[in-house]
Amino acid sequence: MKKITNYLLALMVMSSVASAQHSISITGKTILQKHRLQLSAFDEQTMEYQPVASTLTDKDGEFALETPFVVPNMYRIDINKGSVVYLAIEGSESIRIDYDGKSKAKVVGSSATSKLREVQFQLSGLQNKYFGELKTELDAAIKADDQKKVGELNEQVQVLLPQFIDEMRSLISEVDQSVALHHVLNYSDFNKELAFIEEKVNGLKEVYPESPVTKALLTKVNQAKVTAIGSVPPDFAATTISGKQMSLTALQGKWVLVDFWASWCRACRIENPKLADLYENYKGQGLEIVSISKDNNQKQWKKAITKDGIGAWIHIWDEDESISKKYSVSSLPQNVVISPDGKVAAKNVSAENLTALLKNQMR
């Protein structure tokens, strides 16, 4: 009997150890007492974070959370309004989070998370590093309607852009084959950087094929390919700014520029006067422009149309972003050029390049 009891105790200990080896343990301290914290895991079906565990902090702000480790994945813990910690978890880990309410939460115990936070910090400051001063000058020039100055500043932006992209790619590559890739790719663009992104996602697939973030990224890559050159782009129907119903298929037989923009997008506003000239020159030769706004404020959208003098063509307010999602638009400006046969002829072209394309095709 004693041997049986000892055997059962050994089994219990082994079971407890095995459980600990296959779990994610998160402890920490916040300035919040008796406050509910929620841990969520990324879900590839909803493309959102779904709750997996929650707890209340004690009177000292201490807390402990535990959830089974299943596959490598991205997690997030909501500490307080506006304070969210993202975790890249690739195995059973014991993580410590401390939040004093004054600065960014401190996280120890997860090497992938530490790398994610380091890279994310550098990426978040990258635009300001390259374009911070130029943005201020551009805003002033646009406000003053100084088109000459706007043009000069935009040329400087174009010179810096390749360097910016190279450094961004280099930083993203620091989390190769880590689930953290899912989070840092938010700084990139699946349309403009598809070849680079697909290479990185395929690398992640080699090591973590069953991870929810891998599956989600593969879905996004495939979605971005629906507007590849030579493909038939997704159809859409919408109500225009004038209250009329329109659909993309109804425009087949024309050259169509589907242009995604917003009133707050500097590059879009710089391009708008050029598009107005382009449209004036080619509207009689079968060109149609469909501008799709990602503005949150309808009043600002309409005001920008009037100010930029671009009211001559079709305008749609993509309030629910349904069209933007179909076209995998995550940054602005973006556009797709559709030939009269209804297929994608070009993507993300400038007004100058589109003029050259139309001149060549309409000879």
Number of domains into which the chain is organized = 3
At residue 226, what is the residue type?
V
Element (H, E) at 87: strand 83-89
In the predicted model, residues of the chain with pLDDT beneath 70 are 1-21
47 and 152 part of one domain? no
Cα–Cα distance, 253 to 235 (Å, whole number): 14
- Tell whether 116 is covered by a domain: no
CA 292, CA 57: separation in Å to the nearest integer?
A: 46
Which of 227, 260, 281 terminates a domain? The answer is 227
Q: Could you report the per-residue pLDDT of 20-54, keeping only the tens digit for each?
A: 458 999 999 999 999 999 999 999 999 999 999 99
| 189: Cα separation from own chain's centroid | 7
What strands, in cross-sheet order, belong to the sheet with 23-29? 62-68, 23-29, 93-98, 106-108
Q: Do 49 and 95 lie in a common domain?
A: yes
117, part of any domain: no
User: Do 168 and 223 belong to one domain?
Assistant: yes
Same structural domain, 252 and 352: yes
Tell me how crowded residue 105 is: count the other CB atoms within 10 A of its CB. 18
**What is the model's pLDDT at position 6?**
52
Residue 256 lies in a domain: yes
Are 204 and 263 members of one domain? no
CATH number for 279: 3.40.30.10
Q: Which of 109, 144, 163 is the last residue of a domain?
A: 109
* CATH number reported for the structural domain that contains residue 104 in this entry: 2.60.40
Query: What does the DSSP 8-state code read for residue 240?
Result: B
Query: Quick check: 225 and 327 in contact, CB under 8 A?
Result: no
Sign of CA dihedral 259, 260, 264, 270: negative
Domain residues for 176?
Answer: 124-227
At 76 the pLDDT is 97
Last residue of a domain, one of 109, 144, 174: 109
Could you tell me if 128 and 215 lie in one domain?
A: yes
pLDDT at 17: 40
pLDDT value for 175: 97
